[in-house]
Amino acid sequence: MRMRRLRENALTRNLIRETHLSKDDLIYPIFAVEGTNIKSEIPSMPDCYHYSIDRLNEEIEELKTLGINYVLIFGVPNEKDKLGSSAYDDNGIVQRAVKEIKRVNSGMYVITDVCMCQYTSHGHCGILDKNGNVLNDETLEYLSKIALSHVKAGADMVAPSDMMDFRIAHMRKALDDNGYLNIPIMAYSAKYATSFYGPFRSAAGSAPQFGDRKSYQMDIANSDEAVREMALDIEEGADIIMVKPALTYLDIIRRAKDNFNIPLAAYNVSGEYSMVKTAVLNGILDKSAIFESVLAIKRAGADIIITYFAKDIAKILNGGR
């Protein structure tokens, strides 16, 4: 056997290529901020922008032109309090962003991140007891309230990213009880307590004011535990499970794919994005590194990739490179 036979030219290479990226694999995250006339580049995430609601149409129209049909919405609110109440305000930043996106392009599929950390004054993803510990079961009520409020605003899917136990079961019941039987839940199932969320936290203003997230997000060293997390979320009613981050956890993506026959998403997080993007912008890496890093996530087993590179990838796919 001569392995080089099928590498001889582009036609044979294309014929036997095992993994293909498609625009329908990609979900593009969007940051909506309060205020007016804002489109400002996020310092920690080159080429990503904060948009106020009145200028969101610019992003939505660009995505439509590129052929990207899926977005994940993050809100950056002005108001924070102990209970994160601006997160379930029917007139909150995410709720208004969802309505505006649907107004601009009713064909855009809108997913919302359901969490509390951007909305709480302490920056944790739940309600605290007086010692500063996150209360699991008390938090579930709030998360479900947030999800319901997003869906009432027109969200097509909700994606809880808090890592409380039982939140999928609680949210599924809340959606069903309110008649939203067909709204899917994409669960951030194996979500690690990683330093790769750093650029996002400065973009969203969501860093914890004290301590860390290690009592709810997963230990970076664990793999069997990720399989147990995902099995529980499936049992509780998750429609899609997620591994996050992606590039530093490709082994977990592969285990998920081999263990479960349910749609699998992976989140190519802010730190992974900014590392590659900065290297490309500074001429340290060739820009083909962008396609390679996103393709790796698909090859590892992800069906769906949430990535800040979605527009770059769409341009490459549209240009046929």
| Smaller CB separation from ligand PBG, 113 or 312 | 113
Query: H or E stretch including 305?
Result: strand 304-307
Task: Confirm if 104 and 96 have CB atoms less than 8 A apart.
Answer: no
**x/- binding map, residues 92-131, to ligand PBG, per CB under 6 A?**
---------------------x-x-x-------x------
Of 69, 67, 193, the residue nearest 124 (C-alpha): 193
Structure tokens that stand for 137 in this block: 């079961």
| Smaller CB separation from ligand PBG, 54 or 311 | 311
> Distance from CA of residue 256 to its chain's centroid?
17
Q: Which of 70, 200, 216, 309 binds ligand PBG (CB under 6 A)?
A: 200
| Smaller CB separation from ligand PBG, 141 or 176 | 141
- Active-site residue, 311 included: no
User: What is the DSSP secondary structure assignment for residue 246, as one 8-state letter?
Assistant: S
| Smaller CB separation from ligand PBG, 104 or 279 | 279
Q: How many whole angstroms separate alpha carbon 124 and alpha carbon 187?
A: 18
Q: Among 191, 277, 298, 311, which one carries the catalytic annotation?
A: 191
For residue 45, the cross-strand partners are 42
Structure tokens that stand for 16 in this block: 């036997």
Burial bucket for residue 23 (CB in 10 Å: 0-12, 13-18, 19+): middle
Asked if residue 269 binds ligand PBG (CB under 6 A), the reply is yes
Q: How many residues bind ligand PBG (CB under 6 A)?
A: 11
Contact range with ligand PBG by CB under 6 A, out of 17-25, 129-137, 199-207, 252-260: 199-207
- Active-site residue, 102 included: no
Q: Where are the alpha helices (DSSP H) in 37-83?
A: 56-66
Q: At 59, which amino acid appears?
A: E
Q: Which of 86, 95, 189, 270 binds ligand PBG (CB under 6 A)?
A: 270
Tell me which residues touch ligand PBG (CB under 6 A).
Answer: 113, 115, 117, 125, 161, 197, 200-201, 206, 269-270
Catalytic residue annotation: 191, 244
